[in-house]
Structure 1
Amino acid sequence: MALYAELHRHLGGSVVPRVLWRYFQRNQPDLAQPFDHYEAFEDFYTRPRNTLDEYLELHTLVEKVQTDETLPYFIYRLMRGAYVFENLAYLELRYTPYLRTPDHLSQLERIDRMADIVEVVGKASQMIEYPIVTSQILCMHSRLPYEVNKAIVELAAQMKPYVCGIDIAGGDGHYRERLDEYIHLYSYARSLGLNTTGHLYETTAGCYPELLPYLMRIGHGIQIPLLHPELLPQLARQGQCLEVCPTTYLKTGTLESIQQLKVVFDRCFEAGVDIAICTDNAGLHNVRLPFEYENLLTHDIIGFEQLQACQEAAFRHAFAWKHEQRPESILNDILRPELNLVG
C-alpha cells in the first residue's frame, strides 16, 4: 500500500464541490440560490479561469464560510477524503487565519482572534479514525497590511505544536511594490526558527530572486526551470524543493498544456532539484493527489522512477514529518520484523 505526503494544499480550496454545495443548501441557501442545480454550481466552481487573479477570487467564496464554528465541519470531510481516497499519511494545510475571523471586527480584534482559528484547525485535524500526520502553514497575504502579516509570523512562532511554517499568498504578481517588506518578514521568520515556503515563480510576473534565499521550499516555482534555469544549481546547493501543482497551471491559464511541465521536471532532475507533486486546491480542481500522479505518467511527463523520487522528496522536505523513513518502510518493519535481524 502506497502512502503519500501532500505539502501544498490550501484550506479554502480543499473543499470539494459537493460538500460545499450541501453546506450552502443547509446553512446559507442564499449562496446556492444563483445556481439552478448542483451541476451548474460544480461547473462554476471548477472551470478554468483566464488568470491567476481571477482564479484566486474563488477563495473568497469559501473563506467567508470557514469560521471558527464551521471549520470542524469542513476539516472532518477533508480529512476523511484524504485518508479514504488519497492514502495520505501526511498533510500540510495552508491558509490565512486573519481571513477566517469576523470582518466586522477591528483589525486588532481580528488579530487577537487568529489564535482561536489556528487552535480550531489544529484540534479538528487530529482524528483517531483517520490517522494522518497534519500540520498548518500560516499564509501572509499580499492584500493584508504589514501589521497583520507580522502578527501572522509571530503567531506561527507561538503555536508550533499546530504550525510548521509560513507562506505568502495572494498572487505572486502583487509582491513587487512591497518586496522589501516581505524580505524583512521572511528574515524575521527565519530568526524565530520558522520553516518557510512561499508562492513564487508561479507566473511570469512573480519572479523575485531577492526572496529565494529566505525560502526552504518554493510554492510552485515552475518559472525557474522554464524561464530562469540558471538558478537551478543555486536551488540544488541550498536544498530547496519546488511544490509543483500540475492541474493548477491549466486552471489559472498559466500554462496552455500539461506537456509544458515536461521541461520543468526534466530540467529539475538534471540539476538535482527536488520536486514534490501537490494538488494546491483539490476542491477547486475536483481532483485528488493520485490523479495528479497518474496524469503526469499518462502524458509521459515523468516515468515511474521519477514519480517515486518526487514522492520520496515530499516526505524528505515535509516540515512536520519527524521520521527518517517513509510510512511504507515503517509498515514493512512491522510486517516483516525478520528483515531487521542482524546475523
Structure 2
Amino acid sequence: MALYAELHRHLGGSVVPRILWRYFQRSDANLADRFPEYASFEDFYTKPRNTLDEYLELHTLVEGVQTTQTLPYFISRLIRGAYIFENLAYLEIRYTPYLRTSPQLSQSERIDQMAEIVEIVGKATQTKEYPIITSQILCMHSRLPYEVNRAIVELAAQSKGYVCAVDLAGGDAHYAERLDEFVELYALARSLDLKTTGHVYETQSGCYPELIPYLMRIGHGIQIPLQYPELLSELAANGQCLEVCPTTYLKTGTLEDIRQLKLVFDRCFDAGVDIAICTDNAGLHNVRLPFEYENLLTYDIIGFEELQACQDAAFRHAFAWPYQQRPASLLNGLFQASINDTGNGSLGREFAEIAD
C-alpha cells in the first residue's frame, strides 16, 4: 500500500461540497434556502474564479461555520476522508485560528480564545479509528492587524504539542504595504524555534524576495521557476521545498492550462529544488491528492520517477513526521522481516513487489 503526505491543506477549504451542503441543510437555514439543491451548490462552490482574491472569498463561507461547537464535526469528516479515500499517513492542516473565534468578542478576547481553537483542532485530529499523524500550521493573515498576527506566532510557539509551523496567507498581493511587518514576524518565529512556510510567489503580484530567507518551505512558489529561475540555485542550496498545488492555479486564474506546470517541475528538478505535490483546498476543488498525482501523469507533466521523488520529498520536508523513512519503505521492511521469519519467500516477494 502506498501512503502519502499532504503538506498544504487549508481547514477552510478541506470540507468536501456534499458534507458542507448537508451541514447547511441541517444547521443553517439561511444557507439552506440559498442552496436548496446540491447540484447548484457544488457548481457554485467548485467553479473556477477569475482571481485569487475572488477565490479566497469562498473561505469566508466555511470560516463562518467552523466554530468551537462545529470544528470537531468538520475535522472528523476531513480525517475520515483523508484516510479512506486518499491513503494519507501524514497531514498538516493550516488555518487562521482568529477567524474561528467568536466575532461577538472583542479583539483581545478573540486572541485569548485562539488557544481553545488550537486545542479543539488538536484533539479532534487524534483518532484511533483513522490513524493519521497530523499537525497544525497556524496562518498569519494579510488582512489581520499586527497585534493578532503576532499573537498567532506566539501561540504557535506555546502550542508545539499541536502546532508544527507558522504560515502567512490571505492573498500574496496584499503583503507589499506591510512587508517589513511580516519580515519582523517571521524573524520572531525563527527566534522562537518555529518552522516556517508562506504563501509567496503564487501569483505575479506576490513575489517578495525579502521573505525567502525566513521560509523553510514555500507555499506554491510557482512564479520562481516561471519568472525568476535565477533564484532556484539559492533555494536548492538552502534545502527549501515548494508546495505545488496543481488544481489551485486553474481555479484562481493564475494559470490557463495545467500543462504550464511542466516548466515548473522541469526547472526545479534540473536545479535540485524539491517539490511536494499538495491539494491546497481539496474540498473546494472536489479533488483529492491521488487525483492531483494522476492529473500530472496524464498530462505528461511528470513521469512516475518524478512522482515518487515528489512523494519522497513530501515526507522529507514534513515538519512533524517522526520517522526517517516514508511509510512504503517501512512496509517493505516489515514484508522483508516476514520473509525472513516465515521462509515463505515466494509469497513474501510478491507482497514486496506490490509495496514497491
Give the letter for the 1:76 counterpart.
S
Kindly state the Cα deviation for residue 35 of structure 1 after the two structures are TM-superposed. Answer: 2.2
Tell me the secondary structure at the aligned position of residue 322 of structure 2: coil
Query: Which deviations, in whole Å up to 9, do the C-alpha atoms of 1:56-79 show, x marking residues without a partner?
Result: 000000000001110000000000
Match of 1:215 in 2: 215
Query: Which deviations, in whole Å up to 9, do the C-alpha atoms of 1:68-100 show, x marking residues without a partner?
Result: 110000000000000000000000000000000
Query: Which deviations, in whole Å up to 9, do the C-alpha atoms of 1:75-132 show, x marking residues without a partner?
Result: 0000000000000000000000000000111000000000000000000001101000
Tell me the secondary structure at the aligned position of residue 279 of structure 1: coil
Superposition pairs of residues 2-41 of structure 1, within 5 angstroms: 2-41=2-41
Q: Is the 8 A contact 1:243 1:275 kept in 2?
A: yes
Query: Which deviations, in whole Å up to 9, do the C-alpha atoms of 1:309-335 show, x marking residues without a partner?
Result: 000000000000011011112122223
Distance 2:15 2:79 in 1: 10
Distance 1:28 1:175 in 2: 34
Distance 2:293 2:325 in 1: 21
Match of 2:160 in 1: 160
Superposition pairs of residues 46-65 of structure 1, within 5 angstroms: 46-65=46-65
Match of 1:229 in 2: 229
Q: Does 1:75 align with 2:104?
A: no
Change (3 A) 1:36 1:70: closer
Name which of structure 1's ranges 207-216 and 36-45 shifts more when overlaid on structure 2: 36-45
Give the letter for the 2:77 counterpart.
R
Distance 1:13 1:38 in 2: 18
Query: Which deviations, in whole Å up to 9, do the C-alpha atoms of 1:17-68 show, x marking residues without a partner?
Result: 0000000000112112112410000000000000000000000000000011
Match of 1:144 in 2: 144
Tell me the secondary structure at the aligned position of residue 13 of structure 1: coil
Match of 1:122 in 2: 122
Distance 2:119 2:71 in 1: 11
Distance 2:287 2:51 in 1: 20
Match of 2:255 in 1: 255
Q: Is the 8 A contact 1:200 1:208 kept in 2?
A: yes
Distance 2:339 2:321 in 1: 24
Tell me the secondary structure at the aligned position of residue 140 of structure 1: strand
Q: Does 1:326 align with 2:343?
A: no
Give the letter for the 1:193 counterpart.
D
Kindly state the Cα deviation for residue 210 of structure 1 after the two structures are TM-superposed. Answer: 0.4
Distance 1:307 1:332 in 2: 19
Match of 2:102 in 1: 102
Kindly state the Cα deviation for residue 337 of structure 1 after the two structures are TM-superposed. Answer: 1.1
Distance 2:72 2:334 in 1: 33
Kindly state the Cα deviation for residue 297 of structure 1 after the two structures are TM-superposed. Answer: 0.1
Kindly state the Cα deviation for residue 153 of structure 1 after the two structures are TM-superposed. Answer: 0.1
Kindly state the Cα deviation for residue 339 of structure 1 after the two structures are TM-superposed. Answer: 7.2
Query: Which deviations, in whole Å up to 9, do the C-alpha atoms of 1:195-231 show, x marking residues without a partner?
Result: 0000000000000000000000000000000000000
Match of 1:177 in 2: 177
Q: What are structure 2's unaligned runs of at least 5 residues?
A: 342-356
Change (3 A) 1:339 1:326: farther
Distance 2:35 2:3 in 1: 38
Name which of structure 1's ranges 171-180 and 324-333 shifts more when overlaid on structure 2: 324-333
Distance 1:35 1:314 in 2: 37
Match of 1:266 in 2: 266
Distance 1:285 1:53 in 2: 16
Q: Is the 8 A contact 1:333 1:339 kept in 2?
A: no
- Normalized against structure 2, the TM-score is what? 0.95
Give the letter for the 1:62 counterpart.
V
Kindly state the Cα deviation for residue 336 of structure 1 after the two structures are TM-superposed. Answer: 2.2
Name which of structure 1's ranges 130-139 and 35-44 shifts more when overlaid on structure 2: 35-44
Give the letter for the 2:130 counterpart.
Y
Tell me the secondary structure at the aligned position of residue 195 of structure 2: coil
What's the C-alpha RMSD, in Å, of the aligned pairs?
1.0
